[in-house]
Structure 1
Amino acid sequence: MKNIKYILVAFACCLFTGCMDEDWDTPDTTDAFGNKNIVETNVVTIKSLKDKYTSVINASSNSYQEITDDIQIKGRVVGNDIQGNIYNEIALDDGTSSILICISQGGLFAYLPVGQEIIVDLKGLYIGGYGKQAEIGTPYTNARGSSYVSRMSRIVWNQHFRLLGTADPSLVSPEIFDASKVKDATYLIENSGKLMTLKNVQFKNGDGITTYAPEELKDAANCVSREITGFSSSNLVVRTSTYADFAAKPLPTGKCNITGIFTRYNNIWQILIREESDVEEL
C-alpha cells in the first residue's frame, strides 16, 4: 500500500511540474515600459519648450514651473546611466536642442539605450533649472529647505512616455564643442545638455596615477571635477561620480577626444562622460 502511495505522489508531482513548465514561458515585456496609450499630438521642439520657459530655467535661484499645456516632446536618448556616471537621468535630443529628464530609477539604460526614440507627455510634469541646466521632473525640497526640479518617481515616468520603435544608435552622433566659445553665454544656453565632443585636449592631472574620481576628493554630490589643460576650472571641467564604473581608472596621460553630455552648473560647463570609451586617446 505504501508503495502505491509513493507512486501516486510521484505521479502527481510530475503532473504539477509539467504544468509549471508550460506556464514558465518567457514573459511578454512589450508593454512593460511606458504608456502605450500616448498618441503623438501637439509635439513641440525641445528648443521651443526651453525658449518658452527660459525665465524659469535661467533664474538666479533653482526655479521650476508646472507644465499645464497639453504638449509633448519627441526625441532620441543620447545619454543614460550605462556606467553609473549619469545618475537617475537621461539626455533627450530632437535635433533642435537637448534636455535632461530626471527619473528616480536605476538601470535606465536597459530600456532607454542610446538611440531609443521616445515621446514624452509633458502635461503635469515640471520644468526648471538646476544651476540653470534645463531639466524635466517633479519638485523636491532638500533638508535645507531648498526646492528645485528633481527626479520623478518611476510610476509617474511610466505614465508620461512611450517608446517609439527600437533603438538605433547610428542616428546619434556628437556635435563638436567650439572651444573658442567656452565663455560665450549664448552658446552655453543653446548647447547645454547636448552630446558633444571636445577634441584634442589633455587632462591637467593626467599622470598615469591620478584617477577620475577618488573617494577622498569627492564633494557633497559624490563627484570629482577634473581640469582640462588650457581651460579654467571656472569655465569647464570633466565631472565624474565616485560611483561611476571608471571612477578608479587613471586619467589618460596624453591628448584625447572627450565625448559626453555637456551640462552646465551656472556658468561652468560640466562634461559628464557616459562610459569609459567616451574618452578616446590619440
Structure 2
Amino acid sequence: MKKYNSIFTYILVIITSLFITGCVHDDKYDEPGLENYQCRTEDYYTKAENNFVKWTIAQLKLKPQGTAFTDNAYIEGYVSSTDETGNIYKTIYIQDAPENPTQGLTVSVDAVSTYTKYPQGSKIYIELKDLSLSTYGGVVQLGMKTDAGTRIPEKEVSKHLFRDCSPEKAKIVPKVMTSAQMVSANDQYIGCLIQINDAEFDVKTLCMNYAPNGLTVDRQIRDASTNTARVVRNSGYASFANQILPAGNGKFVGIYSKYNSTYQMYINKVTDLEMNKFPRLDGLTSNPCDFNNTGLTAKTIAEVKQLYTSGNWNQITGDYYVKGQIVANDETGNLYKYVYIEDATGGIRVNINKTNLYQDNRFRLGKDIYIKLKDLYVSKVSGEIQLGTTYISGGNTLFGGVEEADVYKRFFDSNQPSRAVVPTVKTISQLTTDDVGRWIKIKDLQFTESSLYQPYAPGATTNRTLEDCSGNKIILRTSNFATFSAVEVDRGKGDVNAVLTYFNGVYQLWITKALDANLENPRCDGSVLPPLTTIFSDDFSSGLTKWTAVSVVGAQVWGTSNQGNGSNYYAVMNGNSGGNKDNEDWLISNEISLVGKTKAIVSFTSDVSYAGNPLQVLITDNYTGTPGTTTWTQLPANLDTNTSGFGDWAHSGNIDLAAFLGKNVRIAFKYTSTTSASSTWEIDDFKVKGQ
C-alpha cells in the first residue's frame, strides 16, 4: 500500500510542478518550432522554369497602388519585428539586410502570433502576385485588396510569405539613428529595427507604465540631437504594458515607423531597452520613481485641509507627505485635470494640469498613492479646500494644478494593487463639510420631475436635481464632455454613488459613470414611469426635409449648416448680411400626431450668438398654411442666452405638451431681427416623445 501511495504522490508532484511552471509569466518565450512549416530556398526563385522575377523592396514601393500585381515577382527580406509580446499587431516588418539595411517594409496581415512562423531574424520570400500596395498614415504598406480591407487574409498569408529553409536566423543589428534624423528623407528605413543612443523618456512620462490595460498610448522619448520629442507607441495588450518605463538614459531599440507627420517607434520586447544610466540629459542623477519617506512627516487628509488658514491659498512649507486612495478620476471625462483622494479622515480634490490621468498607473481608480506636499498649496476654491499649486497668467498669480512636468516629483505609486473604493453611506440631511471630497453613497434617491426624460448634460455642463423621499434635494452636476452626457437619467429610485463637492455654499454630487446613479426601483410614490418613445425627431443631417421655411420679411432664410460642428448639422438663421437686416422667418415642423397619447414632451438644443431678438418657440393645432393667420401658443422653452460666442448649446428642457394631447400639431421657431440687431440662432436635436 505504501508503494502505491508513493507512486501517486510522485505523479501528483510532477503534475503540480507542471501547472505552476505553466502559470509563470516572465516575458521569456520558448523558441518557436519551425520544422513543420513550408519553406523556400533561394534557388527555387532563380530556376528558369519557375519564371520568377525579383524586385527589390525599393522597386516594390514605387509600383502603382490599389491594384493587384499580375507579375510573377517576389522580394526577399529579413524579419525585423516580433509580435510575441503583443505590442505589434497584425503587422510584419521586414528590412532588406540584417545589418546596415537600405530599405524597410510594412507588411499588413490579418493574422496574429506570426512570430511562431516568421520569427525575428528569419529570411523570408514574399510572392507578390495578387498582392497590392496601399498607403496608411503616410506609410506604404504591402497587403491585399479585399472587401474586408487591405490586409492579407490569414488563409492567404502562407500562400505568399515563405521562410527560408535554412534553420539559421540572422542577427538583426539595429540601425543607429538620432531623433534629428527622423525626417522624410529617411523614410526608406520605416520598418527597420533602429537604435537611439543616449535616449531617455520625456520627463512628463517619468514613473508611468508603458500603457494602460487595453489602450494604445504614445510615450515621448528624447535624445540630445533635437528638442523635438519622438513617440514610442505602446499597446495596452502588450505583456509588458503594466511595467514602469525605464527612468534612466541609454539605448532604445524599436521598429521605426510614422503616422502622417509623427515619427514613432514600436518596442519588440522590453529586454531590448538598456536605459538605466544616470545622470540623464535633463540632469536627474537617480531614479525618481521610488518613494522614500526618510525625513518626511506623514499627514492625514484632514490635517492637510487644516493647513489652509486664510486668504487665497497657503503654501505648505513642511517636509510632509500624505497617502490616499484614488476614489474618482477622469476616465469618463466627467472630471478634468483633477482627481479625488481619500483616507480614513476625509477626502480632497488634487489638481493636476494634465489630461487622461487615468492612463497613468498611479491614478487608476482604487490605487493608493503618496504625495510629497512641500511647496504645494492648499486653497479654498468657491468654499472647497483643494490641493494644487500656483502659476502665472497675464501677470497674475493664480491657483491651479501641478504641472505635467512636475508630476513625477510629487506623486508616487504605492506599488500595491488597486483596492475597491468603499463609499461612506450618508443621507442628504447628514452631509457636512467634513464629507466634502469623499466618495459617498446616498440611498433611495430619485430625479425630480423636471429632470426626468432628459440627458445628463446635453451641450453644456448641467445641474440635475435629486431628491429623497422626504423631499430633501441635492444637485448632481455633469460635464457635457462626460462619455455618458447624452444618456437619459433613470426614472426610478435607487442609490447614488458620487464624490461630494462644495460650491459657494451648495453641496454637489459628481458621478464617474452612469451606473453610479442606477435608479431602477419604483419611485417614492410607488410609481413606475414607462419610457417615452420618439414620435418625431430631426438632427438636420438631411436638410429641412421635415420642415417648412417661411420668409415673411427679409431676404435671409432658415437653412442648415455644420460649420464649426464637424459632421453634425443643425438648423440656422442669421439676419445679418453685410449688416443687420429686418427679418421675420419661420421654421415650421411637419404635422406631428399626438392622437392617442397620454403624455408628450418636446425638447431641442439651441445656440445663439450676437445680440438681437429672442427666438420664439410656438405650437398650433390649426395651421392654416400661413403663419400670420394661424393661432399660436408660445412654449416655455429654455433657450441659450450667451450671445458672446458659439458652441455652448443649451437644452430646452422637457416641455410638456399636455394641452395638445389627442391633436395633430405643428411646432415652429419664429426668428425676427432689425436693422439695429440680428442674432444668429442654431437649433439641433429636435425630439417629440410620447406614450
Once the two structures are superposed, the pairs formed by residues 1-282 of structure 1 within 5 Å of their partners are 13-15=96-98, 16=101, 18=121, 19=172, 20=192, 29-31=243-245, 35-40=288-293, 41-53=296-308, 55-56=309-310, 63-111=312-360, 112-140=363-391, 148-170=398-420, 172-182=421-431, 187-188=432-433, 190-205=434-449, 209-215=453-459, 218=460, 223-229=461-467, 230-232=471-473, 236-281=474-519, 282=521
Q: Which amino acid aligns with 1:38?
A: F
Decide whether the 8 Å contact of 1:262 with 1:271 is kept in 2: yes
Q: 1:203 and 1:32 mapped to 2: Cα distance?
A: 49
Runs of 5+ unmatched residues, structure 1: none
State the SS of the aligned residue for 1:246: coil
State the SS of the aligned residue for 1:82: coil
Instruction: Call closer, same or farther: CA 1:250–1:48 in 2, change over 3 Å.
Output: same
Q: Which amino acid aligns with 2:301?
A: I
TM-score normalised by structure 2 residue count: 0.34
CA shift digits 1:15-60 (9 cap, x unpaired) = 156435697996774147994243123111111121232x23xx6x
> Which structure would you say has the larger RCO, counting Cα contacts within 8 Å and 6 or more residues apart?
1
Decide whether the 8 Å contact of 1:206 with 1:253 is kept in 2: no
Aligned length: 258
Q: Which amino acid aligns with 1:153?
A: E
Decide whether the 8 Å contact of 2:446 with 2:494 is kept in 1: yes
| Offset of residue 88 of structure 1 | 1.0
Instruction: Call closer, same or farther: CA 1:200–1:31 in 2, change over 3 Å.
Output: same
CA shift digits 1:45-91 (9 cap, x unpaired) = 111121232x23xx6xxx11221111110111111011111111111
Runs of 5+ unmatched residues, structure 2: 1-52, 58-74, 78-94, 105-120, 122-171, 173-191, 196-231, 248-286, 522-691
Instruction: Call closer, same or farther: CA 1:201–1:117 in 2, change over 3 Å.
Output: same
Decide whether the 8 Å contact of 2:323 with 2:369 is kept in 1: yes
Identity %: 23
Which structure: greater strand fraction? Answer: 2
Instruction: Call closer, same or farther: CA 1:133–1:14 in 2, change over 3 Å.
Output: same
Instruction: Call closer, same or farther: CA 1:226–1:156 in 2, change over 3 Å.
Output: same
| Offset of residue 180 of structure 1 | 2.1
CA shift digits 1:181-202 (9 cap, x unpaired) = 34xxxx22x1101000111011
CA shift digits 1:167-212 (9 cap, x unpaired) = 3232x20001232234xxxx22x11010001110111147652111
Q: 2:319 and 2:458 mapped to 1: Cα distance?
A: 45
| Offset of residue 228 of structure 1 | 1.5
Determine which structure has more spread, i.e. the larger CA radius of gyration: 2
Decide whether the 8 Å contact of 1:137 with 1:149 is kept in 2: yes
Q: 2:297 and 2:478 mapped to 1: Cα distance?
A: 37
Q: Which amino acid aligns with 1:249?
A: V
| Offset of residue 141 of structure 1 | 6.4
Instruction: Call closer, same or farther: CA 1:120–1:98 in 2, change over 3 Å.
Output: same
State the SS of the aligned residue for 1:259: strand
Decide whether the 8 Å contact of 1:207 with 1:252 is kept in 2: no
Q: 1:259 and 1:179 mapped to 2: Cα distance?
A: 13
Q: 2:76 and 2:483 mapped to 1: Cα distance?
A: 50
Decide whether the 8 Å contact of 1:35 with 1:160 is kept in 2: no
| Offset of residue 6 of structure 1 | 5.4
The answer to which of 22-31 and 269-278 deviates more is 22-31
Decide whether the 8 Å contact of 2:427 with 2:443 is kept in 1: no
